[in-house]
Structure 1
Amino acid sequence: MGDAPWLAEDVDLVLPAASIGKLLLLGVAAEMFEAGTLSREAPLCRADGVFVRDSGVWHTLQQEVLPAVDVCRLIGAHSDNLATNVLLYHVGIAQVREYADRLGLAPLVLLDYARGHRDPADPDVAPTLSVASASALIRFMELLDAGRISAEVGEWLSLDTDLSMVADAFGLDPLAHNSIGGGDPGRFTLVNKTGTNAGIRADTGLAHAGGERTAYAVIAQWDQATDGDMLDEVITRMRDIGRQIRDRLQSAAS
């Protein structure tokens, strides 16, 4: 990592990225924990913010209140939309944008709360949750690797259970590949964040093996009305990129 990219295609193209923008929210939360402006133990109520079901598990649980750090873990592990909205309610979207500007992460932007439905005619609702370019996501991961983004963000992302895209190639257990709590990371260690919506798949992360590491970012968008159902093709391509990353890491580490 740090060398010229060995695989690049339209890296500065800005695309809708679904849940990928939650990276910024987690980055802000970690900074606030470290600064003491938000306590890790602060009780956050799921009645705050915009209520939404969809991805995640908090909306299925009986627990109405969770400590802020567990809300972050739900976002990292399950991209939990309700947890996202509750945390964003307490952090504020202006704070998220200031964080992104300060770290030079444009065009990675978290635009809105997670919503079950977006009315294109509503001027107060962003057309998508977030946008990003691959180059911006690589920058985020490089800053995380360099310690300029809190290592706590990496811990939360190591809980991610969605290894269905690029990360599929590493052969990790989706439920127990992190090192938190003594989990066995196997041959690879990985932190990643994915984004999924109709006609959108995105995956960005940091993969390590044998002292070698690389940052990756893949975003795919297609119009289902004009392009048809391209999901199988997109997932196949993303997994092929993952296999290339795996093979290069193994070769460099050997």
Structure 2
Amino acid sequence: MGTSPEPERATDSFRELRRSNRRLPRRAAVGRRSFVSTLKSLDQLAGFGARISVRVNDLDRGTAVLVGDDFVTLPVAGLGVVPLLIEVAAGFEAGTLDPLEIVERSSTDPVTVGGVWQHLKAPALPLSDLAVLTAATGDATAANLLIARVGLEAVRARIERLGLSQAALLDRFRDERGPDDAPHVALGSARELAEVFAALVNAQAVSPGVSAQVAEWLSLNHDLSLVASATGLDPFSHENDEHGLLFINKTGRDAGIRVEAGVIAGPRAGVSYALIVCFDDLSIMHRLRVHDAFRTLGVDLMEYVF
């Protein structure tokens, strides 16, 4: 793991997206932008046997500022829906999918691993609402219906067109995985996850329209409990932060798996990031130790961008 030289310039596309004013002098934060705390925390997790993949890219310069086994492919749980959302948005833009097409909840097997639709009375929703539920609440039922509508093969083809060689959406969400099921919902690497989020905010994922739509969906995500806990944002309303913080993210959770990828941009800098930790979930203390590492990265990222 390590850091790169101090970034010096901004790309027009990202600066325009942020709609920010002139940045503060970078030299004011040189001494506290080293990710030392994150490195120490991740090294401790590795000492306990955790498998870790981490990547932080400076969006202005397009270079890495923190790297640790970022090429390793690991399970990413619910974060695997990001390519699915990109495929759905591309279908909306191309006209091959109707955002208002109604889908019956009963057309897929019940699944209770996450989300809110299972608790709602509405028996059917349009595809556009399923995308919102998938991005905002990690709704497994909504995601499964999107997978059924577009097909796993279409998502896999989209992953290839995005240039992701270490990513895969293997299966739908299930309450239990049998011997004939894929062992995980999805796989990915921190390097490619960080690159996907950078492409979304820089309007380079498929098209500017598709990028904007997926970024909008992800900006609704309610899970700010890991890296995002350091932002101080309201989990239920953080699209337009009064302090000029641009933030989108997606998390993934499963037994012994914690993942988060996203973008944080402030007045001084912007970064895309991804952290995957696979660990022995033997007790609440093992789990909290992992969560603390995510929050430490969040603090370091906030110091980097402000």
Q: One fold, TM greater than 0.5?
A: yes
Query: Hey, what's the Cα distance between the residues in 1 that align with 2:183 and 2:191?
Result: 22
Question: Shift in Å at residue 106 of structure 1?
Answer: 2.4
User: Offset at 1:7?
Assistant: 1.2
Q: What SS is found at the alignment partner of 1:83?
A: helix
Greater mean deviation of Cα atoms: 131-140 or 45-54: 45-54
Unaligned runs of 5+ in 1: none
Identity %: 35
| 1:1-254 equivalences in 2 (<5 Å) | 1=59, 2-119=61-178, 121-122=179-180, 125-149=181-205, 150=210, 151-179=212-240, 184=241, 186-210=243-267, 212-224=269-281, 229-250=285-306
The CA distance in 2 between the partners of 1:228 and 1:47, in whole Å, is: 35
- Separation of aligned partners in 2, 1:229 and 1:11: 26
TM-score by length of 1: 0.91
Contact 2:77 2:257 (8 Å CA) reproduced: yes
CA distance in 1, matches of 2:199, 2:183: 28
Task: Give 1:139 shift.
Answer: 1.4
TM-score, normalised to structure 2's length?
A: 0.76
Offset, 1:187 = 3.8
| Separation (CA, whole Å) in 2 of partners of 1:229 and 1:133 | 26
Structure with the greater alpha carbon radius of gyration: 2
For 1:75, what is the secondary structure of its paired residue? Answer: helix
For residues 6 and 19 of structure 1, the distance between their equivalents in structure 2, rounded to whole angstroms, comes to 26
Residue 228 of structure 1, CA deviation: 8.8
Aligned partners of 1:139, 1:209: CA distance in 2, in Å? 19
Consecutive aligned runs of 4 or more in structure 1 exceeding 6 Å deviation? none
Q: Aligned AA for 1:76?
A: A
Of 41-50 and 7-16, more deviation after overlay is shown by 41-50
Q: Contact 2:281/2:287 (CA < 8 Å) preserved in 1? A: no
Q: Which amino acid aligns with 1:176?
A: S
**Equivalent residues, number:** 242
Cα deviation for residue 6 of structure 1 reads 1.2
